[in-house]
Structure 1
Amino acid sequence: MQLGYPYGFDAQGRTAQALGDDHIRDLIEQVLFTSPGERLNRPTFGTGLAQLLFAPTGPELATATQFLVQGALQQWLGDLVKFTGLQVDSSDSTVTVTVQYVVLATQRQISAEFTRGGA
């Protein structure tokens, strides 16, 4: 078992845990929504995806963002999962990322959607 993300407590008041596929999903979310430079000992960790909330939208930005996100996910999680699909959408003040992947340990295929909104 691993720590749950975001950090929290379970019904017994202990640190919440994440099992198997839930832990992988938590790791993907951390990579997606962490800005480079935010982690002290890993300055290149993350994607900077949150900055997309404040950028003008367009096909060029969407394509560049998709490559950036795919590269970061592969760099940081490529030993745990094989990414088979990725779509990044920005609408109004919301970014939605849909990721399709295969968990290498179990060969389980999963599709997950992650959404963040601006203030």
Structure 2
Amino acid sequence: MGEEFVGAGWAFPLRVDPTGKVALVAGTHEIEESIRLILMTAPGERPMRPEFGCAIHDYVFAPADASTAGDIAYAVRIAINRWEPRIDLGDVVVRFDAVDRGVLYVELQYAVRGTNDPRNLVFPFYVIPPHEEPTP
């Protein structure tokens, strides 16, 4: 299995290359863009493909705690296993960086099928921290 298995596709966000044609990405860059696209798309967002995407958007208003981290990791695992058949997903780890600002990092460890090339991708995810009323 080589590059023909991975394929090529339109670059995201959609743009043109220096020759004025639609920019394409290929190989592992195409897979990385595909993973990001899956994670950035909420189910129901695409009218012609309503099941496509990842349910992490359900957790935007959830507290930044271990329970939410587990739920996010599970949602990511389900979506990537369903929508990206070119990779073998290893581990999904949700790290807390700046919880007070609502920043979580979702780290995916994967390998392109048919290769022994381990890869990882870190996707920032933002929750909206609860607003605390000032005490008088």
User: Which range, TM-score by smaller chain?
Assistant: 0.7 to 0.9
Q: Distance in 1 between matches of 2:50 and 2:38?
A: 12
- The answer for the alignment partner of 2:72 in structure 1 is 65
Moved >6 Å (runs of 4+): none
- The answer for the alignment partner of 1:97 in structure 2 is 106
Any conservation in 1 of the 2:60–2:126 contact (CA below 8 Å)?
Answer: yes
Please state whether the residue corresponding to 2:90 is helix, strand or coil: strand
Compare CA radii of gyration and give the structure with the larger one. Answer: 2
The code of the aligned residue for 2:15 comes to G
- The answer for the alignment partner of 2:120 in structure 1 is 111
Any conservation in 2 of the 1:33–1:48 contact (CA below 8 Å)?
Answer: no
- The answer for the alignment partner of 1:28 in structure 2 is 35
Q: Distance in 1 between matches of 2:34 and 2:108?
A: 12
Alignment size in residue pairs: 118
Q: How far is 1:87 from its partner?
A: 1.5
Any conservation in 1 of the 2:87–2:110 contact (CA below 8 Å)?
Answer: yes
Question: Which structure 1 segments of 5+ residues have no match?
Answer: none
* 2:37 pairs with 1:45: no
- The answer for the alignment partner of 1:81 in structure 2 is 87
Question: Which structure 2 segments of 5+ residues have no match?
Answer: 1-7, 129-136
Compare 109-118 and 12-21 and name the one that shifted more. 109-118
TM, length-normalised to structure 1: 0.84
Provide the alpha-carbon RMSD of the alignment. Answer: 2.1
Q: Distance in 1 between matches of 2:71 and 2:15?
A: 34
**% identical aligned pairs:** 26
TM, length-normalised to structure 2: 0.75
